[in-house]
Structures are given as C-alpha cells and as structure tokens.
Amino acid sequence: MIHGETDVFDDLAAEHASLETVLAALSPQMWETGSGAAGWTISDVVLHLAQTNELVVASVAGERSPFSRPEGVPLDELMDRMVAADRGAPPDQVFQRWRESAAAELEALRGCPAGTRLQWAAVPLSPRTLAATRIAEHWAHALDVTEPLGVGYPDTPRLRHIARLAQRTLPYAFAVAGEQGGPVRCELTGPDGERWEFGDADAPSVITGPVGEFCRVGARRLRPEDTSLRAEGPHAATALRVLRNYAA
C-alpha cells in the first residue's frame, strides 16, 4: 500500500457509508424516480447493488461462478434480467436488503485468507481487487442516484482505487473493444490537488487530467470529448475511448 493511502477494505466501507447517507434521506417517492442508469429507477439501482453484493458473498463461499449466464448474453443484459426478476419490493425493503448485503460483502472480503482468488464476471480476482471493483460499482451507481436528484456526491481520494483499476485493466478493455493497444501511463490530479501516477513511467502514451473525469469516462458516465483530459502518444486516445472500470 502506498504511504498515506487508506486500506481498500476501509475505503469500501466508507463508500457504503456515503451512499447509505444519501439513501437514508430519500423520500419513498424519490426511490421510484428515474435514475441515471437507463431504464432503471433509483430503487432498481439499489436493488442491483444489493444483488451484486450478494454475488460477492456467493463467490467467497466458493460457488464456481456467481455470474451464471447463457453463452453470448452480455453482462448488462444479465444484470437487467436479475433486476426485473426481483423488482417490486417497497423502498424500505430494498434499502434494508442493500444495507445487509453491503455489510455481508465487506465481512466476506475481509475474511478471505491470503492468496485467495475469487470467481467474478470476467476473470478470478484477489479479494482486494474485487473490493476495488465494488468501490467502482457503488461510486458509479451513487452518481446515478444523486445526479438526477441534484444531490451532491463529492469526489474523494477513494477514486484512487478506481483509477488504478481502470489503468491496470486497459489490456482487457482494448481486447473487449477489438482494438490494438499498448502501454499507457496515467498522470491524474486527485480531488485535493494531489498527483497520482499509474503505469510504466516509460510508456509512450499518457493520459493527464482530473481523476474524477477519468473515472467517469471509465464508468461511461462521461464522454472523453466532454472532459479536460489530454491524450498523448500512439494509444492514449484509443485508451480513453475503451476505458472501463467494470467487466463486459
């Protein structure tokens, strides 16, 4: 762990707590309003987070593949089917399911022995990497909840985990998109003005700019052309186009 950086499990707990504060303030009517996730209400978004928290627990418990899907079915479609199958519970029940599943997710990940590899959407992950993906998932969907309501959700140093995840998985993102890739370095400015660097210092391609914009591009909540991010070198612009904080 980099000096001054908080533990990924502690940061997952903090991300849970931030979202819980937002959700606890919503009226029942707000839960049924449209979210930033196309076709989903805010209640649907929170249900999805609860379902995927439960999948983390299932993975830790040793189920071979918590994402059981017919071959060729996109992950987004599978998630949409899961939400549709469970939709209909009142907001207080959805909220409680999410709170219980978030606590269970964190406890399960913290309790994994060293060297554990957990089945997940695309490839097996270490508990720490899976915790980073859960921070990314909760953060992106927190934006889906807060932005349509005009509620603030400030960027925090927890974005470091998301940015590192996005940079490290660029080879996967290039492959999913069918694009020719190469080494890309990221030089990002954190929420408090700190400088974060990820990737090979000698990489011929570099992306620079605010970490909040970088992470929003990776979450597909912002288009690269609508940011102040700069892409220099043979693969940087393509990297921004294919960047993702999540599996396909």
**For residues 247 and 14, which has the higher predicted lDDT (pLDDT)?**
14
Of 41-45, 64-68, 93-97, 167-171, minimum mean pLDDT range:
64-68
CA 192 vs. chain centroid, Å, equals 21
Residues of the chain with CATH 1.20.120.450: 8-149
Alpha-carbon span 210 to 188, nearest angstrom: 5
Q: Which CATH fold would you assign to the domain 8-149? A: Four Helix Bundle (Hemerythrin (Met), subunit A) (1.20.120)
Residues of the chain with CATH 3.30.1050.10: 159-242
Torsion of CA 204, 231, 219, 23, to 10 degrees: 120
Three-state SS for 66? coil
pLDDT, tens digit, for every residue of 97-152?
999 999 999 999 999 998 999 999 878 899 999 999 999 999 999 999 999 999 99
Considering the domain 159-242, what is its CATH architecture?
A: 2-Layer Sandwich (3.30)
Confidence band of 63 (pLDDT split at 50, 70, 90)? confident
Confidence band of 68 (pLDDT split at 50, 70, 90)? low
Q: What tokens does 29 get?
A: 């009517």
CA 50 vs. chain centroid, Å, equals 14
pLDDT, tens digit, for every residue of 19-44?
999 999 999 999 999 999 999 999 99
